[in-house]
Structure 1
Amino acid sequence: MCRLYGFRSNEPTKVECTLVHAQNALLMQSRSDEIGRAHSDGWGIAYYDDREPHVERNASAAHHGLHFSNAAERVYSPTVISHVRLATVGIPTVENCHPFRFGNWVFAHNGTVQGINQLRPILIDEISVDLQNGIVGDTDSELLFHWLMQRLLRHRVVDKNSCLSLDESIDVIAESLTLLDQRCRDAEPTKPAKLNTVLTDGHVMIASRLRNSLHWAHRDGIRDCEICGIPHVNHQPGFHYKAVVLASEPLSHERWTEIPDGSIVSIDSQLETRTMSMRAPTSTESNLS
């Protein structure tokens, strides 16, 4: 299990207070989540400078030392994904820390692909050699990322650097996760998979909630940070600021909404959001396999 954070805005924003200083910041969750579990098996922060993603990862606990805090302090971006890890598959190494990157895409996962020992050869067989060569760790999460990217690429709704059709990408991810969930049930009937994910190319973001908590908050207009009293936005006069924050647990005192279980949510390049339920694989599934 892990804890996720995703952020999209239409102007570069400093996220240090949310990640480090807020009442329930990701740093705090690395020490103890809502049911008292520590997430001490590594951390990662990914952010975008123009189109280019930058990913910093560390196999130590986010609450040990100043590495996580210092990394968060440097982030000033319109798109951020961060993650603190509680290892279930794969040992605590940098290679196994989220977020993972492929081209301009960045991905993190909160949960477990149940029956992974049985499913690993099946999933790998469905991934191209080029994508297989990009898998450097041994987690179920990194394999899940490359498997999803393969399906998105095969359906031609994304390329290596960007989303070509957000609506079609949402459909592919919904069908893919539904298929994977069924495979996990077949492999491990008594332990349902937990498949909370977040994926971005820096301009759009797609997330899923399946059997782990996930919330979001919408920000409309400039506001002062409840921690330090400043807005943290590189704001242009006359421009209307918007932002959407995703998190496993509410991080601050602002209004958070729980995302329904079994849902896919998306944030487009204009910060418009959409929520849809996952559904059973359709006739297009044969083209995705």
Structure 2
Amino acid sequence: MCRLLGVVSSASDTLPRHLGADLDAFTGLSKVHCDGWGIAYWDAQDDLVSAKYPEPALGSERFQAAVESARTDAALLHLRKASVNMANTEQNTHPFLAGSVAFAHNGYLSPRSELDRLVAEAGGRPSEGDTDSERYFSLVLAELRHSGPVEALHEAARKIADSAEVVSLNCLLLTHDALYASARYDEKVITAQGADVASYELNYRITPGSVTVASSGWARPAPWLPLANGQILEISRTSLWTSVHVLR
């Protein structure tokens, strides 16, 4: 299980200034989600860049330097807790990038052989690492060739849910135009595994100058709005307009 955090702002600034106490609290979660950290963001030249490393964010000089130097108006952050038998390598660390798209996932899908089959059938790119998450991203990328981000996320999730075992397909997708947060998880599987469904809930907060979306895990001041299971949140970079799309 991993942790997700994303922000879109009306002005470019560093992540500590955008996120304030939320960033410190999020970073503290790496005491448990300790197998890697990563960020992706649009920089001052409007290039999509990333930094990631297979180590805990808490106490990492590399992480601190990355968040302080990232002047941006749109970013996503990820803390990784690796699944069993998944190596802590840079190739397995989120986010994953392809051109002008970045992706981070919280959940578990299996088997990987079935995900590889789905990616191959869709003409997607082969994965460099071992994770189910990168294969999920490859399928989203394949769908993006002929549909918009909301439909691509929906179709990728539908194909995976029809063919593989799904715990959670929760993810953040950052494009040039928007940040998308998709909440999709199987409450029955989570409960059967003895886990807390609340660990997979996504919430978002709208302020006059920014919109933030995050996994659960730390006490946060109101008002945060729930993103229901089966919904996709879209946050426009240009206007901060938010739209909630319901999956069919």
- Partners of 2:40 and 2:76 within 8 A in 1: yes
CA distance, structure 1, for counterparts of residue 18 and residue 46 of structure 2: 23
Q: Specify the alignment match of 1:162 in structure 2.
A: none
The match for 1:213 among 201, 205, 225 is 201
Write out per-residue CA displacement over residues 235-256 of structure 1, whole angstroms, 9 at most, x where no aligned residue: xxxxxxx311111026642421
The match for 2:78 among 70, 83, 103 is 83
- Partners of 1:215 and 1:258 within 8 A in 2: yes
- Compute the displacement of 1:126 (Å): 2.4
TM-score (norm 2): 0.84
Q: Specify the alignment match of 2:128 in structure 1.
A: 136
Question: CA separation of 1:76/1:121 partners in 2, compared to 1, >3 Å: closer, same or farther?
Answer: closer
- Compute the displacement of 1:172 (Å): 3.1
The aligned amino acid for 1:198 is: L
Q: Specify the alignment match of 1:225 in structure 2.
A: none
The aligned amino acid for 1:80 is: A
Query: Which secondary structure does the structure 2 equivalent of 1:194 belong to?
Result: coil
> Is 2:158 the partner of 1:169?
no
CA distance, structure 2, for counterparts of residue 94 and residue 51 of structure 1: 24
CA distance, structure 2, for counterparts of residue 53 and residue 23 of structure 1: 21
- Partners of 1:18 and 1:25 within 8 A in 2: no
Question: CA separation of 1:58/1:172 partners in 2, compared to 1, >3 Å: closer, same or farther?
Answer: closer
- Partners of 2:180 and 2:233 within 8 A in 1: yes
Query: Which range moves more in the overlay, 74-83 or 242-251?
Result: 242-251
> Is 2:60 the partner of 1:92?
no
The match for 2:41 among 41, 47, 55 is 47
> Is 2:125 the partner of 1:145?
no
Alignment of 1:260-279 (within 5 A): 260-268=228-236, 269-279=238-248
Q: Specify the alignment match of 1:257 in structure 2.
A: 225
- Partners of 1:18 and 1:251 within 8 A in 2: no
CA distance, structure 2, for counterparts of residue 11 and residue 69 of structure 1: 21
> Is 2:63 the partner of 1:68?
yes
Question: CA separation of 1:117/1:203 partners in 2, compared to 1, >3 Å: closer, same or farther?
Answer: closer
> Is 2:243 the partner of 1:243?
no
Question: CA separation of 1:175/1:266 partners in 2, compared to 1, >3 Å: closer, same or farther?
Answer: same
Alignment of 1:95-114 (within 5 A): 95-113=91-109
The aligned amino acid for 1:270 is: S
Percent identical across equivalent pairs? Answer: 29
- Compute the displacement of 1:23 (Å): 8.0
Write out per-residue CA displacement over residues 77-98 of structure 1, whole angstroms, 9 at most, x where no aligned residue: 0011110000116311111110
CA distance, structure 1, for counterparts of residue 81 and residue 47 of structure 2: 28
Query: Which secondary structure does the structure 2 equivalent of 1:25 belong to?
Result: helix
- Partners of 1:16 and 1:69 within 8 A in 2: no
Write out per-residue CA displacement over residues 30-51 of structure 1, whole angstroms, 9 at most, x where no aligned residue: 11xxxxxx10100001111132
Q: CA RMSD of the aligned region, Å? A: 2.1
- Partners of 2:7 and 2:75 within 8 A in 1: yes
Question: CA separation of 1:71/1:2 partners in 2, compared to 1, >3 Å: closer, same or farther?
Answer: same
Unaligned runs of 5+ residues in structure 2 are 186-199
Unaligned runs of 5+ residues in structure 1 are 32-37, 158-167, 221-241, 280-289
- Compute the displacement of 1:5 (Å): 0.8
Q: Which of the two has higher C-alpha Rg?
A: 1
The aligned amino acid for 1:182 is: D
CA distance, structure 2, for counterparts of residue 94 and residue 52 of structure 1: 21
- Partners of 2:116 and 2:135 within 8 A in 1: no
Question: CA separation of 1:105/1:121 partners in 2, compared to 1, >3 Å: closer, same or farther?
Answer: closer
TM-score (norm 1): 0.73
- Partners of 1:22 and 1:251 within 8 A in 2: no
Question: CA separation of 1:255/1:66 partners in 2, compared to 1, >3 Å: closer, same or farther?
Answer: same
